[in-house]
Structure 1
Amino acid sequence: MQLKYKIVALGILPLILAVAIISALVIFQNQRLGEQQAQLIEDSILASKRAELKNYVEMAMSALTPLYESGQDDEHTKQMVLKELQKLSFGINGYFFVYDHNGRSLMHPRQSGLVGRDLWDMTDPHGLPVIQALLNSAQNGDGFQHYAWEKPSTGQVTDKLAYVVMLDRWGWMLGTGIYLEDVERATQQARQEVARGIHTTMLAIGGVALIAVLLVFACGLTLNASEHRLADKKLQGLTQRIVNLQEEERSRLSRELHDGISQVLVSIKFQFELASLELEAGSDKGQDILRKGIDRLADAIGEVRTISHDLRPSLLDTLGLAAAVTQLVTEFELRSGLSVHYENGLGDIQLVDGAPVALFRILQEALTNIERHADARSVTIELQGDARQVRLSVCDDGVGFKINQLESIQGGIGLRNIRERVDHFNGQFSLSSVPGRSELVVTLPKQLRAAPLLSRAHS
């Protein structure tokens, strides 16, 4: 996967994960709050229903109290009570019912077919023995009982809340009930509102997440484009510098060939022509002129070797870095007249491809700068190696320089090119300078294989 896709993925995937977690938490929290709200609504409605039922039963008791407390327990009095209760009703489905303690229906104004029947074992669709539960609630409980019963107005079985009391002297159970459809509608409406709220919240979170993902994606594309432009700019600058270095090297070779070898060869040509004329004339001067021409030819050959050595020393390919550095140090000491202390601890270590050339060119550039600018008297060069790395150190006692200004120096390899050579091999480079001591230290790993420079710059 390319870097740009990794950046976008690292930006988007955590965002998507965070949005998913937040969405799950929001859904869970809203559902929990919705259930709490529905339960509160249900409890509130049921509380009002219970109070309403108790009021109805108390009203019925107040109506039958004169007869019940008269002390007359004959059948006629009981029938009068049942007739009075049968007349009492509230709403379409509000009525009173009476059962004896054995579960036989004594009065039911909406379902007359149940009157006189023994309903002790009758159960609702949930398997609840309704009459037994009502009698148990009236005798031992708070008088309230939930069960399912057929609603007279619709003929459908619906949840119902009843309140019952016992007329102990007669062994009767008197009660009434309210159907709970409105409770179900209220709780269902609360749950639907919660579901709509969750849906709206999820749409909002999704919209925000989409905008955030698009922003991250756009930022990733912008960053990628910026990095590409920067990489292309660096690549163009590097290419231009390589071209400039090639042109400078060609110009230097052209000057050396024209001002050095070319002049020597022309002089040799004239000497050979003069020697030929003298020899044809039988003069002894021809031999002397010919010998001088041969000496000049030897100088030309030496000049060619010098140029070839500057381009790439043959010892670097034949005997290795240590021998090439030794020759370079010897030539520098003879040419500059400086006192050079050279320590070679490299041994027979084999370096990665290109590393010997890089170290040789870095040392060559450092010695050239010392000779031209340092005004030094002595130079210390150390080339050390072990199983992990190779270390080159160049130290002089010159006037020093300002490191932050060295970047602007043009020509030669330059500090930036030295750093690029070191970075090419994933090495380390340090430079320090104060009056009286300047030191350049380069460390290259022994085993690391270098990546192509252009591909590194482009990536």
Structure 2
Amino acid sequence: MQLKHKIVALGIFPLILAMAVIGALVMVQNQKLGEQQAQLIEDSILASKRAELKNYVEMAMSSLAPLYDSGHDDDATKQQVLEELAKLSFGVNGYFFVYDHNGRNLMHPRQAALVGKDLWDMTDPHGLRVIQALLNSAQTGNGFQHYAWEKPSSGEITDKLAYVVMLDRWGWMIGTGIYLEDVERATQQARAEVARGIQATMSALAVVALIAVLLVFAGGLTLNASEHRLADKKLQRLTQRIVSLQEEERSRLSRELHDGISQVLVSIKFQFELAALELEAGGSKGLDLLRTGTDRLADAIGEVRSISHDLRPSLLDTLGLAAAITQLVNEFEQRSGLAVHYHSELANTQLVDGAPVALFRILQEALGNIERHAEAQNVYIDLNGNGRLVRLAVRDDGVGFRVGHLDTAQGGIGLRNIRERVEHFSGQFSLSSMPGRSELIVSLPAQPHQDNS
């Protein structure tokens, strides 16, 4: 094989491999974020539905209170209560049901054939004894139960979330439920959007890889002595382009998450609608519901800002490492509740290109490990420079860990990433731990000071 062909091969094969690895990493990260987003949407909608069900049952109990609290336990009073409950409904498939403590159905406005039957041993398609589970939830005070039930409007077996309470004096269980097919639609839509994003990203990477390969191949065909040096420069630019693509992908993911979080706001909309209904009805809980929805909206906004900041801190580019770390420390202290003792003396120390990002990510990873695993009360952070190097020390008073255990395949991924970042800049890395004291020390070389006098 001629030299120029070898150079072309050496340029093309690593490039293809790097693009394939980047594509795989982007796909895995997209899928992970997509699952997290779908889970967040599902949890938010379910939380809204739980609040909605609880409000429906509370309203029903309020309407029955005069009869139940009258102290009359005769059959006529009980029948009147059942008739009042049968009249209450919401939506197309919203109704109330009543069972006694032995599992016998006393009232079911949409499935009259069940009235009077003993359903104690009835199971859903998943093998759950539905009535027993509902009674257990009502008696323990939890009230909520997930099961499968026939949907009256379609006759199909559909997942359902119910909320039940007990009328202890009569031994009755009263409740209602909401069918959950809309939750599945929302999560499927989120996963479909992620899949489309992955496909678009992979297509863009394929186009970039193809263009880069063609450029390298075209350069190799006209290779000569002077073009050898040019090829080296092109390879350097391609390597830098790969690094840039990684940071661009982080920015893109940040924008996508910002847009996607709007799905979470659907659940908040339900909360506001409930508040509106309550206020229109002259209820006393409207303002509380409105405040709850507002608080959740603030949480959603904070989550968007937190995710965007984690992907790429803007202060790092605008005001520098010291300001970015100060903000990171303040946010960590507020979020975790730990006491953080932070000291910085960078002065005019200048870091080599890429080192500020590396130090920021290292501290970010270290604080994340402390929050998740250390069970600490205090965190001590020292950042200082002396013109030759920059030293970052992070210490906590937590439970400690076995340093050697972190080299196993199942743990220590974050610390291995820290070690790799340090090695990339030819820096120094040390880690020690014992109960009550764990310390991470990182030193990176500083950029030599240029004297222009």
TM-score in terms of structure 1 length: 0.48
Q: Bigger radius of gyration, 1 or 2?
A: 1
Specify which structure has the bigger relative contact order, considering alpha-carbon pairs within 8 angstroms and separated by 6 or more residues.
2
What TM-score does the superposition give when structure 2 sets the normalisation length? Answer: 0.49
